[in-house]
Amino acid sequence: MPHSCLMSTFSRLPVAFVRGEGVWLWDAQGNKYLDALAGVAVCGLGHAHPAVTAAICDQAGKLVHTSNWYEIPLQEKLAERLCRLSSMDNAFLCNSGAEANEAAIKLARLYGHKREVLNPGIIVTEGSFHGRTLATLSATGNRKIQAGFEPLVQGFYRVPYNDLAAVRQIAEHNKNVVAVLVEPIAGEGGIQIPADGYLKDLRRICDERGWLLMLDEIQTGLCRTGKWFACQHEGVAPDVMTLAKGLGNGVPIGACLARGAAAQLFAPGSHGSTFGGNPLACRAALAVLEVLEKERLDARAAQLGARLLQDFAQRLAGVKGVKDIRGRGLMLAIELDRPCKELMTAALERGLLINVTAENVVRLLPPLILSDAEADLLARELTDIVRAFLAAPAAAGETR
Ligand SMILES: *Cc1c(COP(=O)(O)O)cnc(C)c1O
């Protein structure tokens, strides 16, 4: 790459897209790519979805931004819609996942102080990802993301993911814990799916102790896992739920939803955002919710996920080097026994966009509007690529 005026925050694959439609992207040379990443679970409705495009264009021609110093009816409408879908009481609208989690962390601290806890603490997990701002990277369970940014924000207690005994142990020794913040499925952490009952038991512990259960549904929410929200697989209602990625289908928007006592903590002056919930973003999100609902994409994601898992399992049966195939809805993983970052390049060369996370986990987050034929194509192509990679001399996979 020649000199760039961009700060170096991503090591990018050598391709730029100029157009998208549904699950497909095109580069400037006219090459076509099947997008099984969807901008990291953002474009759940695929690219250039007509209903979202129409909503954005119409709103852009009317009113893009005013200010949170004025009433914004589209915000009211979006909050009402989100609360109805999630059974939460109210919403704070912002511009990203990290901001949604910042709001959640601030709610937990207000909640603690209200209960006269001097230094309110939040339990978080190893392998988690909550964002890149200082508070959210401090909450994140990945040293690589924190390194160099010390001093970290204090007040987080870390436990292994999917380990209830560790949560109970922290509770015994730290009277200042006021909340738990977890992902229902650890996305960046390699699509780690906790044992059945994990969220239910966390709910029970939180109820016993008077803690807030705060679920980071930024990646899992909005039909991605086959339900509207991943906590619904266990029938668990959190006190705080954060959303972002899939909410605007690419228009930046995040939301922090709260219920019960957590919904009564913010007052004018305690939190805010200049852009948060502006008319353009809210209009896009309303269009997204409408399509998700009308097309029953929760059920569709569940069905497609099952189909893909079965197809992967069949096509990779007995292939040495495949450690695990797992997923829920359209949040899917193929875990290998070796680092496999270069699979992203190998797939790109074959016209397939995938992601590798946690070093050795192929992560798929395709648009929820995938057709059966596209799903079959994805399974065929991907398993071919994985098989070829695993058959290559081991050194190739272990140098990076
Ligand atoms: C992506 C993600 C975030 C951060 O969202 P940004 O919009 O990048 O700030 C937080 N939590 C989870 C679970 C995520 O997947």
Query: Per the annotation, does 129 bind a ligand?
Result: yes
Q: Give residue-wise pLDDT tens across range 198-223.
A: 999 999 999 999 999 999 999 999 99
- How far is it, in rounded angstroms, from Cα 189 to Cα 130? 11
Give the Cα-Cα-Cα angle 142, 148, 150 (nearest 5 degrees): 85
Peptide bond into 151 cis (omega under 30): yes
Placement of tokens 């901008």 in the chain: 39
Instruction: Kindly report the length of the chain.
Output: 400
For 195, phi then psi, to 5°, come to: -60, 150
Indicate if ligand 1 lies below 6 Å from the C-beta of 97: yes
Compute the distance from residue 161 Cα to the ligand 1 centre, in Å: 17
Instruction: Compute and round to an integer the Cα radius of gyration of the chain.
Output: 21
Q: Give residue-wise pLDDT tens across range 266-317.
A: 999 999 999 999 999 999 999 999 999 999 999 999 999 999 999 999 999 9
Is residue 1's pLDDT more than 70? Answer: no
Query: Which atom of ligand 1 lies nearest, measured to the CA of 220?
Result: 13
Catalytic residue IDs: 129, 216, 245
Is residue 252's pLDDT more than 50? Answer: yes
Say if residue 153 is exposed, middle or buried (CB neighbours under 10 Å; 0-12, 13-18, 19+). Answer: middle
Is residue 397's pLDDT more than 60? Answer: no
Residue type, 52: V
Query: Per the annotation, does 154 bind a ligand?
Result: no
Tokens of 260: 């019960």
Query: Which atom of ligand 1 lies nearest, measured to the CA of 219?
Result: 15
Query: Per the annotation, does 216 bind a ligand?
Result: yes
Q: Give residue-wise pLDDT tens across range 161-207.
A: 999 999 999 999 999 999 999 999 999 999 999 999 999 999 999 99
Q: In what order do the strands lie in the sheet with 240-243?
A: 90-94, 254-258, 240-243, 212-216, 177-182, 121-125, 156-159
Q: Give residue-wise pLDDT tens across range 13-72.
A: 999 999 999 999 999 999 999 999 999 999 999 999 999 999 999 999 999 999 999 999
The full set of domains in the chain, from first to last, is 17-48+297-391 (3.90.1150.10), 52-294 (3.40.640.10)
Compute the distance from residue 131 Cα to the ligand 1 centre, in Å: 5
- How far is it, in rounded angstroms, from Cα 293 to Cα 284? 14
Report the predicted TM-score, pTM, of the whole model to 2 decimal places.
0.97
Which residues of 78-153 form beta strands (DSSP E)?
90-94, 121-125
Compute the distance from residue 241 Cα to the ligand 1 centre, in Å: 13
Distances 335 to 67, 228, 267, 308 between C-alpha atoms, Å: 46, 26, 45, 15
